[in-house]
Every structure is written in C-alpha cells, then in structure tokens.
Amino acid sequence: QALASRKNSALSTTQTPTPYKDITTYNNFYEFGTSKSDPSQNAGSLKTRPWTVVVEGEVNKPRTFGIDDLLKLAPMEERIYRHRCVEGWAMVVPWLGYSFSHLLKAVEPTGNAKYVEYITLLDPAEMPGQNDPILQWPYLEGLRMDEAMHPLTLLTFGLYGEVLPNQDGAPMRMVIPWKYGFKGGKSIVKIRLVEKQPITSWMRAVPQWYGFYSNVNPDVSPQNWSQANERLIGQGGAFGGLFSPRVPTQMFNGYGAQVASLYQGMNLTKFF
Amino acid sequence: MGTSLSWPRRLLRVRAAKPLIFLLCLLPFAGLFWRGWTNNLGPNPEQTVIWTTGLWALRLLLITLAVTPLRKLTGWAELARFRRMFGLFVFFYALLHFTAWLGLVNGFSIDMAARDIVKHPFVLAGMTALLLMTPLALTSTNGMIKRLGARRWQALHRLVYVVGAVAVFHFWWGKLAKNNTASPTVYAVILAVLLGLRLRWAWRAAQARRASLQGERAADDQGKSRSLA
C-alpha cells in the first residue's frame, strides 16, 4: 500500500539503501518471536486497523488519535537514515514519517514533562511472542524531552514508499537514528509524557548491559562484544557478502554534528 | 559369533560406520559451504557462520562427552572407537568459529581481538575453551598416547570436563545479552547429567575400594588375634 511523501534530502544519507527484502526479513521484534526470521513469518496476525494511539500524562491537551489522523498530522517525508543494531549490524533505511515533535507540540507538554515514554501494543493473541516472558510486556522505550523534540527523531509510518510491513512496526513506530535500534519502539499504542526517567524494557531485563540513553558509541561496549565496528547488511558479493569487511562504527552513528550538543558535559561511559 | 550381539552393536561394528559418522559430522560444514556458494547464508552471513559453527562445536562436545556414559549404560563397547573422531570435530568447528570471529568481526586484527578478550568475559570464555582443547587435539594420536603414558594422557584429557563447563558458560553468557537463555539452559542440563554420571561412578568406585580395603584390614586383624590366642 503506497504512502505519498516528499524526500527530505537535508536529513538523508547519500548511502545506498539496504534491499527491501533484508529490511523486511531480518528483524528483531520479540513480540513475534526471538529469531530474526520470526517477525516476517508471524506478524501477519497483527491487525493494524482500526488503530488508536493514546497520548497522555504531562500535557495540556491529552488526546486519543486514530491512525488516519496521525497520518495527516504533518507532511509525510522520506528520510534515508542509517540504522545501527546493538548486535553489531547496520542497515540504510528509507523511512517515511515526520518529526515526532509535531505530535508533541499538538498535545502541548506541560513544564513537568521531562521524559516521554512510548508503549507497544499488548495482545498475546495477535503478538504470540508475548506468551514468552522473555521481556516484561508491553515493550516500553523512552527518550528525554530534548531528544524527543529533536528534528531527527522520526515518527515513522512507512518504508520504501509504502506503509510499514507489520514486522517493521506497523502501523506506527519510532526511529531515533543516533541510538541503537531497540530504542525505536514498534506498533505504538500509548505515548506518555512524564517527569521521571522511565525504566525501559531492556533496562529492566539486563540493567548492567542496557542503559537509558543507548547512544551509538564505538568506544563504549557494556554488552558482550565490541561496538567498534559493524556489519552492513545487504552488500552482496560472493558468499552473500561474507568476506566484505566490517565498517568502523561512528560516534552517534554519524549524526554527531546534529545531536552531540544534547549530551554536552555528560559522561557517556557512565550514561550509556 | 555375531548372532549373540544386538543389532545396534552389529551396526556399530560395520566397517563403513566410521566413515559414515565422519561424513555426518561434516554435514553442518558442508551445509554452510553450500549455502554460501548459492548465496543463501541469509541477510547476515557473518552471523550465520559464527552461530552455526559455535553451536555445532558445542553439540559435538556433548556428543563426545556422552560416549563413555552411553557405553557404560548400554554395554555397547563398540562406541569407544568413535570418541576421538567426535572430539576432533569439536576442535574443527571451534577453530572455524574462532577464525570466523577473528577474521569477519575483527578483520584479523590481533589488537582488536585482544581488547575484546580482555574486556568481555563472554569472549574470554570462548577463547579459554579453545585454548584448553588445543592440547587435547594435539595429543589425540596413538603415538602421543604412547609417549605420554596412558595414565598421564588420561589425566590431561580430563580437561575436557572443564572445556564443557566453559563452553556452556560462553553460550549462556552470550544469550544472556538477549535475555534469552532457554536453549543454553538445555545444554547446561545435558552437560550436568553427563558429568554427574561420571561423579557418581567415581564415588561408587571409591566406596568399593574403601570397602575392599576395610575387608582386607578386618581379615588381617582376625589373623593377628588368632595367632595371639
């Protein structure tokens, strides 16, 4: 299903996008299973219409949006972003959406709104992976208010000129290109503006390895492996590109010029 | 002669059994190669190769450790002659696993690899398992058994129990990063059973030795008192 947009070249990388097939068959979306191929095989059970999104908390105008209202809230843009997974692989993805700030401004955050959390659908019938207590469901992620208001933070509805496939987070997800992919909550049904820093699903599951910020950082690797470099998916070549070299990971996934100022004076080793 | 043996034992005695099991052990590697050749390693071929080789190294390690308990429980003495081959295949897959990690993840940079090993217990555990199994692979020949002497050779090869524990820990620690330790737990339970059986047998053997020693001593005492009388 096509989704009209105009390209935002200023906020797009010039790198070649990863093939559609890879973006839609190699997914981490535990709500549909833990293996990379599970989401594309199991996400057919998700019904994305009708769909509503509740926006509440520290706002002057709390509101429940229908998905069609959200699609029309601001002009749809195509933005080609780099996408870096905490597991050490990366893609280049032509997303469709608009800056999350448009939605936040529409509900008028109060002075107490310091953080925003966004919550995925909870429905084990449509999301069979939720029968497995591997994470605390529903999936919860969040941002600091200034991160959420940053123009790069994308409220995302589509991919490659079409509406999002279910396995990529339909009908609406978050994309924060300078953070690891898991910060981008998928199939969002609730957005809450809050005063205190949320405890995200991954922080709750393995606190020593997953912090709130999770900015892409080649020098900090609280997890099991080095984050110094990454495997770019979908390069092609002999043996499926097995022997093409990894590429060095960039600070803030290459978006440092736009976002580094958000973290001025912060110890990014401590606040990983 | 053969008629008195059960069919599994007769099968294990067939000349072709060994080359057949050799080919079976090679199958995961052949599968990877074929998938690579036909561009079918999936969106992330590096991950496919590293995970597949690591998983088969661990599976074959458990198979190797299962040979002796299985032989004792079933009485199929023929199983023993496959043990070395299984063990060497563990080393083969572990070496592939290591080489893939060193080459594909670290671009053969010893410096990067070393930093990774020092920093992450998960990587350190994998390296430790590989280092500990290297002397076992090197001393696996008949000549080495003779040179070391059966007793010393056996003592050295008990290291395989440590390799098993470290390898399962490596797998478990790796999956912990994704909060998904269900399958490593299965491997840990199998390893615990295989090592537990050995402990039980060792304990029983020790008890039997003690009992027979006590028996001898009692007999001695009796003899002494009789001679005093």
DSSP 8-state code for residue A109: B
% of residues, chain A, pLDDT over 70:
100
In a 13 Å sphere around the CA of A244, the CA atoms on its Cβ side amount to 16
CB distance B49–A242 less than 8 Å? yes
Q: Compare CB distances from A205 to B116, B174, B179 and report the shortest one's residue.
A: B179
% of residues, chain B, pLDDT over 90:
82
The CB density around residue A207, as the number of other CB atoms within 10 Å, is: 11
CB-based contact A120:A186 (threshold 8 Å): yes
Q: How confident is the model at residue A232 (pLDDT cuts 50, 70, 90)?
A: very high
CB distance B178–A34 less than 8 Å? yes
Least confident residue range of A22-26, A184-188, B72-76:
B72-76
On whether any CB of chain A is under 8 Å from the CB of B178, the answer is yes
pLDDT in tens, A71-110: 999 999 999 999 999 999 999 999 999 999 999 999 999 9
Phi, psi of A45 (to 5 degrees): -75, -10
Our CA angle for A219, A222, A225, nearest 5°, is 80
CB distance A241–B45 less than 8 Å? yes
Report the mean per-residue pLDDT for chain A.
97
- pLDDT reported for residue B217: 79
* For chain B, counts of helices (H) and of strands (E): 10, 0
The single-letter code of the amino acid at A236 is G
Q: What ipTM is given for this predicted complex?
A: 0.91
- pLDDT reported for residue B228: 56
For chain A, state the CA radius of gyration. 18
Report the mean per-residue pLDDT for chain B.
93
On whether any CB of chain B is under 8 Å from the CB of A111, the answer is no
Low-confidence ranges of chain B (pLDDT < 70): 1-3, 223-229
CB-based contact A161:A135 (threshold 8 Å): no
pLDDT in tens, A142-151: 999 999 999 9
Q: Which residues in chain A are closer than 8 Å to B171, comparing Cβ atoms?
A: none
Choosing among B44, B104, B124, which should be mutated to test the A contact, i.e. which has the most A CBs within 10 A?
B44
Mean pLDDT value of segment A16-43: 97
Query: Which residues of chain B form beta strands (DSSP E)?
Result: none
Q: Does the domain made of A6-204 have the CATH classification 3.90.420.10? A: yes
Token pair for A265: 């004076």
Token pair for B134: 């290297």
- pLDDT reported for residue A190: 98
CB distance B177–A26 less than 8 Å? no
pLDDT in tens, A146-172: 999 999 999 999 999 999 999 999 999
Chain centroid to CA B45: how far?
A: 27
- pLDDT reported for residue A168: 98
DSSP string, A37-76: THHHHHGGG---SS-EEEEEESBSS-EEEEHHHHHHSS--
State how far the Cα of A19 lies from the Cα of A39, in Å rounded to an integer.
17
3-state helix, strand, coil in chain A (%, to 5): 25, 25, 50
Is pLDDT above 60 for A21?
yes
Token pair for B66: 């299962």
State how far the Cα of A136 lies from the Cα of B114, in Å rounded to an integer.
36
The helix (run of H) or strand (run of E) holding residue B22 is helix B17-37
- Residue ranges per structural domain of chain B: 2-228
